[in-house]
Amino acid sequence: MSKLIDLTAPLGHPDLCLVPTFPPVEFWKFHEHESHGRQNSAVKMAIHQGTHLDSPNHFFSDGVTLDEMPLDTFCGKAIKIDVRTTSKPASEITKEHIINSPGFDPKKLNGAIAVTWSGWSKKAIFTEDYFPKNPYLNKEACEFLCDCGMKALCMDHPIDPGMKPGGKASKGDSPGHRTVLGNGIPLIEHVVNLDSFEEMEFEIFAFPVKLYKVEGAPARVVARIP
């Protein structure tokens, strides 16, 4: 029998590191059991908090949104790329790090979902260091992964250099986002629990919430291990 492993960080967890400068995640109950005999809740949040997906429209006005992408884009064969020994805080993950990762075979990425495994989410996603000090993929590494034919890119770390409180968005920032999304490839960001199984090849399911004509969405990301 196969085993399902949750790769999703819990939205609303009090210690989950949130993107600096973005609105916080806020839940409230507008019906409660004691008063109304039921519970109904509401949420206010930035879409790009916690484990979520980005579509090309996130950085390109003419790019497709997630609800326009085929469902098979978000599931199927996944290949873990183990860069734990070479990725360092606030430092680049390079093409060489990927090529020299244990057992790496670029042919396996063709039509698969690439999963860069730095170990960073395990260390820091429930701390304030997760975004300011994260390892990140440099532009050449992103271009290389796109050239390998991946259909989506999943990461246990932010794709771009660390964001700090008070930072501002600009048209020239975020080279990793721009490179991968510019190739029409969605991102699956900030997954957890990659260390909980040994398999380097597995199935992944990362279906985003179907939001109409929006550039990203939260997702429940799950690995299925044989």
pLDDT digits (tens, 9 = 90+) for 147-161: 999 999 999 999 999
What is the per-residue pLDDT for 168?
Answer: 78
Which residue, among 193, 182, 115, has the nearest Cα to 155 in the 3D structure? 115
Query: Where would I find the H helices in 52-138?
Result: 95-99, 120-124
> Counting Cβ atoms within 10 Å, is residue 33 exposed (0-12), middle (13-18) or buried (19+)?
exposed
Q: Write out pLDDT tens, residues 102-123.
A: 999 999 999 999 999 999 999 9
> Counting Cβ atoms within 10 Å, is residue 198 exposed (0-12), middle (13-18) or buried (19+)?
exposed
What is the per-residue pLDDT for 171?
Answer: 82
Q: Write out pLDDT tens, residues 35-61.
A: 999 999 999 999 999 999 999 999 999
Name all domains of the chain by residue range, CATH numbers in brackets.
Answer: 3-17+47-225 (3.50.30.50)
What is the per-residue pLDDT for 7?
Answer: 98
What is the per-residue pLDDT for 164?
Answer: 73
Mean pLDDT of 164-172: 77
Is the predicted pLDDT of residue 174 greater than 80, yes or no? Answer: yes
Mean pLDDT of 53-82: 98
Query: 123-127, 165-169, 214-218: which range is least confident on average?
Result: 165-169
Is the predicted pLDDT of residue 216 greater than 80, yes or no? Answer: yes
What is the per-residue pLDDT for 120?
Answer: 98
What is the per-residue pLDDT for 82?
Answer: 98
Is the predicted pLDDT of residue 80 greater than 90, yes or no? Answer: yes
Question: What whole-number distance in Å separates Cα of residue 152 and Cα of residue 29?
Answer: 36
CA angle 68, 69, 71 (to 5 degrees): 125
Mean pLDDT of 163-187: 89
Give the chain's mean pLDDT: 96
Confidence band of 167 (pLDDT split at 50, 70, 90): confident
What is the per-residue pLDDT for 165?
Answer: 72
